[in-house]
Structure 1
Amino acid sequence: MNPDVRPRLRQIELFAGLTDDQLDWLASVTEERHLGDGEVLFQDGDPARHFHVLLDGELVVTKVVDGREELLTRHTTRPRPGDGHEGKPPAAHRFTGELPMLTGGDYVATAVAVGPTTVLSCSKQAFFDILARCPSVAAVLLPVLAWRITSSEVQARNRATVTALGTFAAGLAHELNNPAAAVARAAEDLGPVIDALADTAEKWGHRADDRERSVLRQTLDEIVRTPSPADTDPFALADLEEELDDWARERGAQRPTALASALAERGLDRPWLETRVTGIRQQVFPVALDQLSALLEARGLTTQLRTAGPRISALVAATRDYTNLDRAPRQEFWVPAGLDATLTMLRPKLTKVRIVRQYAPDIPPITGYPTEINQVWTNLIDNAVDAMDGEGVLTLRTCLQGNCVTVEIGDTGCGIPAGSLSRIFEPFYTTKDVGKGTGLGLHLSYRIVTQRHGGAMSACSAPGDTWMTVRLPVNATHTKGDC
């Protein structure tokens, strides 16, 4: 063996405890590889065939998540001042690829060389031989592996939080757009309408007598009290509105559009109006129509404002229920309220989805972390919608079973392959295409339900009929396995 290899290996913490014979054997089952700047060591999704030890240089480990390349970590033998690796053990810099070796899976990220880089690579069989023949290697490797799994879960949880906040922000912005736009339009239109109302009111007040003013008030009240028809033909509605507008203009009205719209929306036609205003003199008739139109337009705008205000308040309340920004972390909460708040936040994705709610009336509140549970609902509903390609039936059921609130979320999507069903809660396992899923969403949801809340989570699936079941204990004090 090359006499320079043994001291180089002994400087690496992973091999520091090996004897000279073990180092000689190690050199015989490994291969030294030299990488140029930008050269790929392994690719996300490729079969994991080698374990790699960093002898010199730097590796950048990245993963494509939702179409964006994210930096997971850097392994380097040349640390620079200011490089903060957030508690990363020094030994973790010097090897990579052990996780897929141990799980029998594929590489879960991509490693690329930064500058000239040298690695020592060994086959999967040689990796297991090293663990068997060199116990000191396992003593260093396993704590690093545990740290990496924990770190990956923290990163995924943070990513899930950011994704949930992004989904939440998009949903909130979409839902607020209509009432906010209504408020903006009403505020913009209200100024000219008030001016017109003041102008027509002055003319009407000077020219009309008490009897005519009473006729106009009664007509206005009757129009406002008349509900819109349940079924409306849009073409007939447009024709009626045009007929009323033309009729009013022929009689000298200057601003009859609001009057024509208000009457047509309620199914009131020209003969109806003529019978109501027969007592108004011809010389003040145009002013009467303009006054009536201005009053109806002003009422219409104030109605828009009254409608938009509560809608915005309701959205703010749903936001508060979803995020629990103004409450303690652990608290009592009602599961159906969290499901409904999540549906509100995801509404832009649910435009073509029929939602069926089957909430039992006797659901008691539970104690736990509602923000985390709402992230579970977000993940499960989002997955269901993806499985249906945005169209289908989403069913939400809740019931009380013993000491547990049971939530079932069903979809009519493509289903989960039978071979994957037993693995969907495993970390890094995903049935989505590379770049579309981290394989940690369901795993994190599972941990939130089982470890944070002492509940249980399961799945059953067939094409067109997939159900995710979550059971959460009611009592504040619980132990894992209550459900």
Structure 2
Amino acid sequence: MLHDSIDTTLVPTFPPEVLDEVKREGVLREFQPGEPLFTEGQHDYDFFVVLSGEVRVTRRLGSEDQVLAVHRPGAFTGEISLLSGGPAIATGRAVGETRVLQVKAEAFRRMVAECTPLARFVLQTLVTRRQDAEAQIRQQEKLAALGRMAAGLMHELNNPASAARRSAEQLREECLEAQHRALAHDERLSAPQREVLAELMRDLQSATPLQPLDALAQSDLEDGLLGWLESHGMANAFSRATTLGTAGVDLPHLEVLGATLEGEALEVGLTWLEKTLLLTQLTDVMDASTQRICSLIAAVRQYTYMDRDWLQEVDVHAGLEATLAMFAHRLRGGVTVTRDYDGHVPKLWAHGSELNQVWTNLIENALDAMKDQGNLRVSTRLCGDEVHVELSDDGPGVPEELQARVFEPFFTTKALGKGTGLGLDIALRIVERRLGGRIRLQSRPGDTCFRVELPLKPELPH
């Protein structure tokens, strides 16, 4: 019989009578990191109860290994094939040094035949595990459907968006050329006056783009331009000042024009300059708008990992940025996003679209908690052979008595009708069962942090 130190603190999910039976029948075993407890296709392997460490269960699909489950202290594994009588459908390996109670296959089958407390407990747990597996399959199907829908939509949007952007660039060049041809044939201006206008336009085009002025500085600039235009008797002074100021024209530029152009020539020259700058501004808006569409298309492609293999090297930072782009409509209001990315974080092996679904659920929860008003902090760290990603918000926090339940299916702290209670459950399934990682929660009023701990590469069979 095993030492009495093995109690409900090590296996808290086991009822006392079940624990007594396991202690009576089980043998204490220790497995080294990567050592298999059972392998896919193996017959007559044993039943295991995890006391410390982790057991990662994987199944070979083609050239990849899919993580089916991660069993931590208090969980058991090895029961499915023992009950079905067939070979093992997956491989179970120790993650780190792992201690287990090993119950021989013959003893386990005898307990099932006698319907002992352990057998009844295992069968009840199997029902829950089957429901979990079905939920996981449904989630994978939803992600696959999202990928197919996104692929079709992005294909339809990408071609016209790219064409519109090319057209905007060409339109800008054609407008400038047409304006310069018109200036060259304008007999109301002398050759030196036309050259001054053309030179000013070239200077504005070739100038290094400056940082946008703040609202006060921009207003001061436009007020100065307005005063100059009014003092020289120019019509539509207000709208002209706005157009000229937005294009980077300042008082020294106008002084150069005023020294060369007078009276009607100044009016003609300013009209030409205003219309030329207005055309370039409109084409710039078109170019920026189509560029935004192209950026969103790229973000959706990154978010859904369209046309990628099932398991791929994933850039965590690119995935986080793609997910944040999906929430741009909620972030641009009263949410301040602070990024603290570790530049030493390498790519990790994962399911890209599923990992982005984790970021989606965590970010959406943070925004809901803050009611789209507050601070969202996103940070990454390389910790040994793992990447740790933290998503923090300064919302009201999760009450301490509810923190242990937040990952339960259908449990939600949101108002009635505002949440399904599945977001964190889905995130937990993806991180633990598909990626072999962990999610941890720390929360107090004004500081709630979810930390996702991901291995750089799942431990695969040797």
TM-score range, shorter chain: 0.5 to 0.7
Distance in structure 1 (CA, Å) of the matches to 2:360 and 2:132:
23
**1:459 corresponds to which letter in structure 2?**
L
Contact in 2 for aligned 1:164/1:378 (Cα 8 Å): no
Tell me the SS of whatever aligns to 2:405: coil
| Residue of structure 1 equivalent to 2:63 | none
Distance in structure 1 (CA, Å) of the matches to 2:122 and 2:440:
35
Give a deviation string over 1:60-92, Cα, whole Å, max 9, x none: xxxxxxxxxxxxxxxxxxxxxxxxxxxxxxxxx
| Residue of structure 1 equivalent to 2:66 | none
In the TM superposition, 1:310-349 aligns within 5 A as 310-349=291-330
What is the TM-score when the length of structure 2 is the normalising length?
0.59
In the TM superposition, 1:119-198 aligns within 5 A as 148=131, 150-152=133-135, 154=137, 197=179
Evaluate the alpha carbon distance shift between residue 433 and residue 447 of structure 1 in structure 2; reply closer, same or farther with a 3 A threshold: same
Is the aligned partner of 1:230 residue 2:230? no
| Residue of structure 2 equivalent to 1:416 | 398
Is the aligned partner of 1:425 residue 2:407? yes
Contact in 2 for aligned 1:425/1:446 (Cα 8 Å): yes
Contact in 1 for aligned 2:378/2:390 (Cα 8 Å): yes
Evaluate the alpha carbon distance shift between residue 423 and residue 283 of structure 1 in structure 2; reply closer, same or farther with a 3 A threshold: closer
Tell me the SS of whatever aligns to 1:422: helix
**1:326 corresponds to which letter in structure 2?**
D
Give a deviation string over 1:345-369, Cα, whole Å, max 9, x none: 1122223111111111110111110
RMSD: 4.5
Contact in 1 for aligned 2:143/2:353 (Cα 8 Å): no
Contact in 2 for aligned 1:450/1:456 (Cα 8 Å): yes
Evaluate the alpha carbon distance shift between residue 281 and residue 138 of structure 1 in structure 2; reply closer, same or farther with a 3 A threshold: closer
User: Following TM superposition, by how much is the alpha carbon of 1:472 offset from its aligned partner in structure 2, in angstroms?
Assistant: 1.0
**1:287 corresponds to which letter in structure 2?**
V
Match of 1:475 among 433, 443, 457: 457
Distance in structure 2 (CA, Å) of the matches to 1:281 and 1:330:
71
Distance in structure 2 (CA, Å) of the matches to 1:288 and 1:158:
64
Evaluate the alpha carbon distance shift between residue 190 and residue 403 of structure 1 in structure 2; reply closer, same or farther with a 3 A threshold: closer
User: Following TM superposition, by how much is the alpha carbon of 1:477 offset from its aligned partner in structure 2, in angstroms?
Assistant: 3.6
Distance in structure 2 (CA, Å) of the matches to 1:285 and 1:239:
20
Match of 1:359 among 333, 341, 345: 341
Identify the range of structure 1 (447-456 vs 422-431) with the bigger mean alpha-carbon deviation: 422-431
Percent of paired sites with the same residue: 33
Evaluate the alpha carbon distance shift between residue 389 and residue 296 of structure 1 in structure 2; reply closer, same or farther with a 3 A threshold: closer
| Residue of structure 1 equivalent to 2:433 | 451
| Residue of structure 2 equivalent to 1:374 | 356
Evaluate the alpha carbon distance shift between residue 165 and residue 345 of structure 1 in structure 2; reply closer, same or farther with a 3 A threshold: farther
Distance in structure 2 (CA, Å) of the matches to 1:429 and 1:143:
21
What is the TM-score when the length of structure 1 is the normalising length?
0.57
Is the aligned partner of 1:384 residue 2:360? no
Distance in structure 1 (CA, Å) of the matches to 2:439 and 2:122:
34
Contact in 1 for aligned 2:247/2:277 (Cα 8 Å): no
User: Following TM superposition, by how much is the alpha carbon of 1:455 offset from its aligned partner in structure 2, in angstroms?
Assistant: 1.0
Is the aligned partner of 1:213 residue 2:194? yes
Contact in 1 for aligned 2:172/2:280 (Cα 8 Å): no
**2:409 corresponds to which letter in structure 1?**
P
| Residue of structure 2 equivalent to 1:404 | 386
Contact in 1 for aligned 2:319/2:356 (Cα 8 Å): yes
Count of aligned positions = 331
Is the aligned partner of 1:287 residue 2:268? yes
Contact in 1 for aligned 2:225/2:251 (Cα 8 Å): no
Distance in structure 1 (CA, Å) of the matches to 2:270 and 2:347:
57
User: Following TM superposition, by how much is the alpha carbon of 1:192 offset from its aligned partner in structure 2, in angstroms?
Assistant: 13
**1:399 corresponds to which letter in structure 2?**
R
Identify the range of structure 1 (140-149 vs 438-447) with the bigger mean alpha-carbon deviation: 140-149
Evaluate the alpha carbon distance shift between residue 208 and residue 229 of structure 1 in structure 2; reply closer, same or farther with a 3 A threshold: same
Evaluate the alpha carbon distance shift between residue 320 and residue 156 of structure 1 in structure 2; reply closer, same or farther with a 3 A threshold: closer
Evaluate the alpha carbon distance shift between residue 229 and residue 428 of structure 1 in structure 2; reply closer, same or farther with a 3 A threshold: closer
Tell me the SS of whatever aligns to 1:263: helix
Distance in structure 1 (CA, Å) of the matches to 2:277 and 2:264:
22
Larger Rg: 1
User: Following TM superposition, by how much is the alpha carbon of 1:246 offset from its aligned partner in structure 2, in angstroms?
Assistant: 4.4
